Amino acid sequence: MEDVSQKRKTKGHVVVVGDVMQDIIAVPHGPVVRGSDRRATIRLCPGGAGANQATWLGFFAVPVTFAGRVASADLVHYWTHFSRAGVSPALAGDDERPTGTLVTLVDGQGERSFLTDRGANLGLCPKDVPKSLLRDCALLVVSGYSLFESGPREVLLEVIAHARRAGIPFAVDPASTSFLAEMGGAPFLEAIAGARLLFPNAEEAAMLTGTHDLDEQLTVLCRYAEIVVLKRGAAGAMLATAEGARFSIPAPAIKPLDTTGAGDAFLARFVAEWLGGNDLEKCLALAVGTGSAATGHIGGQPGQVDHQPTNLA
């Protein structure tokens, strides 16, 4: 990817609020054998949708602050990790819960199945996301995961309400069809109404709208967000605006190794280009290219390395 050594010129910084996870990613070397062994590539990587988005924004030289919660024992580790990734960390430590953990099983097509223990993320509280964090904020990015549980949801709803009152645009990534089904599409859309940007994938859009018709999905979602960016994986992406513009971009033909975090990389590149003043079609094209390229390595963040936080030691 291109040289991103210089910070982009943006009016204010991006604030991302979301989960921090430690990802255990397993890529079997063939079909899983029930009740027996299969060789596999297994990696421990930093993850979490919000954390991924923040580190990709840092990679694309966007001034970014990340707010989240980890185990107190892991606080220094993650503070260092985010700082090295070009992210200003605003992390809270949890004395009772471990850092969230995600077990990912990747199939032969690079698609994933998850087992999720959100750990410290469930303890997100108002003092973790003070209103002062949004001072000089150009865009608030909210991960849908933080809207699925009652405690973090109340915090995020107040953060979004403050952004609305302050005239701060916000973006939302719906994050999970399973958790969306538990919450319900209508309550989720009501919670994020007025978003400047909405980034569902194909399955999430169907869950939120109750239809598999792409045009109808975009029509419905544009009632809640000014710009809807529909991630369609190998089929590319579509974009629609509340003002009626629509277009799509195909994805390059590649064989993915691991799609973990590809949507987060896509979101970050789109936001980086959008804040930089590029037109929406160029933003979408560059985001599709980045999302596709991100499937070529294991893990959800740029420059992944094997990772061993304290509570897995």
For 209-229, give the DSSP string. Answer: HS---HHHHHHHHTTTEEEEE
For 186, how many CA atoms within 13 A lie in the half-sphere containing its CB? 0
Which superfamily does CATH assign the domain made up of 13-20+47-99+118-303 to?
A: Ribokinase (3.40.1190.20)
Task: Provide the 10 A C-beta neighbour count for residue 269.
Answer: 27
Longest dimension (CA), the chain: 57
What string of DSSP letters covers 142-193?
EEGGGGSSHHHHHHHHHHHHHHHHHT--EEEE---HHHHHHH-HHHHHHHTT
In this prediction, residue 308 carries a pLDDT of: 39
Phi, psi torsion values for 75, nearest 5 degrees: -60, -50
Residue type at position 299: G
Task: Provide the 10 A C-beta neighbour count for residue 81.
Answer: 22
| CA 211 – CA 303 distance, rounded (Å) | 37
SS3 state at 246? strand
Contact 168, 195 (CB under 8 A): no
Residue ranges per structural domain of the chain: 13-20+47-99+118-303
Q: Taking the chain (313 residues) in consecutive chunks of 10 residues, what is each chunk's mean pLDDT?
A: 54 91 88 88 89 96 96 96 96 96 79 85 95 95 88 93 96 88 89 96 93 95 97 93 94 79 93 96 96 84 53 34
Contact 41, 298 (CB under 8 A): yes
| CA 157 – CA 135 distance, rounded (Å) | 18
In this prediction, residue 10 carries a pLDDT of: 63
User: Can you give the pTM of this predicted structure?
Assistant: 0.88
